[in-house]
Structure 1
Amino acid sequence: MSTSDTERVVFDTADPDVRAYPLLTASVVPRPIAWVTSRSADGVGNLAPHSFYTVACANPPIVQFTSVGAKDTLRNVRETGEFVINLAGAAMVEAINGSSARYDAEVDEAQALDVRLEPSALVSIPRVADSPVSIECRLHSTIELGDSTLVLGDVVAVTVRREVLADDGLPDFAALQPLSRLGRNEWGGPPPLFALDRPHRAP
């Protein structure tokens, strides 16, 4: 680590004393949480949160999350080719946090934590019944990146609970109450909102 001027500290990621992972997770904030349901080839369910998550492509619709290490979710997705991303709402924070524990592969986190599941619309993997939005995916591809694997999923259906839909037919942010992950052990609750139209062209 070195200083380049009086106002900034430079963290050189090639320096073995620089902790790149916690530095990034404290800097790339807030991060939405993909609460992923999956199932092994043997039929064992899995429920786990992944905070390296975003939209990868608009058309065709593709979402992505990153598995840091070879976790059960990654193995299951490769075995079955399907998964569901459930929106992590504030009302479920204890269960979401609890599902991040290191359970044995033979344990279904949803059962262990009393999280209610229900059948999805177009994939065989169940969704979290009380999640306001669930994104049903079929595996597009995986990309190995060092100690992590990027998982890309073709979105085949998005299911939204009726009570969180606004008059324009889209999910209402205030009703979703989404959680986010920050640095350290910090979480973000639903933030205050403001509206700002995008300019049509540069002045």
Structure 2
Amino acid sequence: MRVEFDPEAMGSTAFPRFLTSVVIPRPIAWVSTVTSDGSTEKLAPHSFFSIASTDPPIVQFTSIGRKDSLRNVEDTGEFVVNFSSEPLLELINATAIDFPRSVSEFDTAGVEREASKCVRPPRVASSHVVLECRSHTTLSMGNSTLVFGRVVRAAADTEFIVDDRPNSELLRPLTKLGGDEWGTLGTVLHLSRIPYEEPGAD
């Protein structure tokens, strides 16, 4: 037996709760930005986050409503994605509060800054991998705006690099699930992709 869910009948409050409990786990972009006058450095987690292109390297996060991250990217054209790892859970959650735009989450949550190399927003010093981005484009869709940024510099702590790339088990990524649920990496499965072979090929 199945229970049917009608998005139109449920409306814009109830159905998103269902949807975000199904599209899981979601990686978290911990996005740092700065206001156009440079007076306030902002930091907020966004759990609608993915890679949009590999060549050129473009990542994408979604602002539901007009959040400070979106406004600052529109004003400055820059942002940093700081990797969200399990040990940082409490700090990340503390930066999810809807503070006024003039209040810095770096300061209220006690998050240590680190200067970026190519953009104005700071990095999170305790984040093991960072992606410095310049705005590529934004796309409005319903109640949300998709923010696309070209990665112009990446940096990673050396102890988390294995075979020339960050190692997921060492990084201990943090993910978002439904409601107030968060997820951790759990068991990592290794399975090689099966190549296609023409029938009758030797």
TM exceeds 0.5?
Answer: yes
- Per the alignment, residue 136 of structure 2 pairs with 140
SS of the counterpart of 1:15? helix
Distance 1:145 1:194, change over 3 A: same
Correspondence for 1:160: 156
Preserved CA contact (<8 Å) 2:116 2:122: yes
Counterpart of 2:21, as a letter, is A
Determine if the alignment matches structure 1 residue 33 to structure 2 residue 28. yes
Higher relative helix content: 2
1:14 counterpart (2, 5, 8):
8
**SS at the partner of 1:25?**
helix
* TM-score computed with the length of structure 1 as normaliser: 0.93
Which residue type is aligned with residue 51 of structure 2? Answer: V
Q: Where in structure 2 are the equivalents of 1:76-115 lying within 5 Å?
A: 76-115=72-111
Matched, 1:181 2:196: no
17 and 71 in structure 1: CA distance in 2 versus 1, 3 angstrom threshold: closer
8 Å Cα contact 2:34/2:120 also seen in 1: no
Query: Corresponding residue for 2:192?
Result: 197
CA distance in 2: counterparts of 1:150 and 1:191, whole angstroms: 29
Query: Counterpart of 2:106 in 1: which secondary structure?
Result: helix
Any conservation in 1 of the 2:62–2:144 contact (CA below 8 Å)? yes
CA drift of 1:190 comes to: 2.2
Deviations for 1:163-193, whole angstroms, at most 9, x for unmatched residues?
1111x11001111111000001100012211
- Percent pairwise identity: 44
Matched letter for residue 117 of structure 2: A
Query: Quick one: distance in 2 between partners of 1:112 and 1:13?
Result: 38
Distance, in Å, in 1 between the alignment partners of 2:20 and 2:11 is 17
Cα distance between partner residues in 2 of 1:11 and 1:58: 35
Q: Counterpart in 2 of 1:64?
A: 60
C-alpha distance in 2 between matches for 1:107 and 1:42: 14
